[in-house]
Structure 1
């Protein structure tokens, strides 16, 4: 007998992740430049963020830092190197689903100025 009282349970709501990225699927940066891949995400429960490069999970080191808040994700390479070129992927995942963002990064050398004096062998009039 419930004495006229109603009992109810509140189940936690869950939402699959969404992702909104500030980078395109292809990005070219010069050696020595700062490279930033960032965006925003949602999801309940709070999703986990995983960055990979060429299918291998990235770990933060002196070449790259990963900074995630409850709503933003960010991968920064303060001084891009040629070996940073590759296929980067971010996965935002919770128990309800996952979303991926992919970027092919190319790090290119800066064009060098010509060396030495320019010599003209023949001049035509």
Structure 2
């Protein structure tokens, strides 16, 4: 006749695990108790079961969990529970899967557009991939060539950047990618092309001047205002 013993989970192998995305994680945990405890695993407040990339092997006094083809979705706290007629025990282990960051949060705003540049603004990604961001890569594309070329790199603390070196009256697309030690995120891009031009144009010419009065020292002229002000108030005449 066996002696009734409350479950005891061996926590020696339940140390924090950190691996790169795509690698596998294997937990091998011994459990004491009489009668042999019933063992269950839980993750994200749900029972963890054998599935596409999860394999659970329970036997008397031991449990094994293998995670294959890991992604950031596998990051979190895993809970093991053991229970028999004499009581129960519970323990946790943290698993961290390192990967590229999420793309920056949008929209990618384009402001202060002029003929040679503009200002871009975005938000930090929701997930940094488990590693500190090292910065943001900015790129521009000329729709006539379809090629993306570098447009700047900014520190991770910044979420805006002044773009320079645009060719006047050309249309451009822009995009930004977050970067950590694992690589670059998917890009966040502008929805439409941006025309590199000043917010105003050169005004149209005024009407022909007419002499309405004169004397030996001066001439008084009159003319019609230009039919187009170029998008900004006329500030003077020459």
TM-score by length of 2: 0.40
Which residue matches 2:58? 68
| More relative contact order, 1 or 2 (CA 8 Å, 6+ apart) | 1
Matches within 5 A, 1:51-90: 51-90=41-80
Q: Is the 8 A contact 2:74 2:97 kept in 1?
A: yes
Secondary structure in structure 1 of the residue aligned to 2:183: coil
Larger radius of gyration: 2
Give the ranges of 4+ consecutive aligned residues of structure 1 lying more than 6 Å apart after TM superposition: none
Matched residues in 1 for 2:59 and 2:79: separation? Answer: 18
Structure 1 residues 1-125: aligned runs within 5 Å: 13-21=3-11, 22-24=13-15, 26-109=16-99, 111-112=182-183
Cα displacement string for residues 32-88 of structure 1 (whole angstroms, at most 9, x for unaligned residues) = 111112210111111100100022101110110101121211110022111111110
Q: Check the 8 A contact 1:34/1:77 in 2, yes or no.
A: yes
In the alignment of these two chains, the number of paired residues is 102
User: Does the 8 Å CA contact 1:15/1:44 hold for their aligned counterparts?
Assistant: yes
Q: Could you say what secondary structure the match of 1:43 adopts?
A: strand
The 1-side partners of 2:183 and 2:4 are apart by 54
CA distance in 2, matches of 1:71, 1:19: 9
Structure 1 portions without partners, runs of 5+: 1-9, 114-125
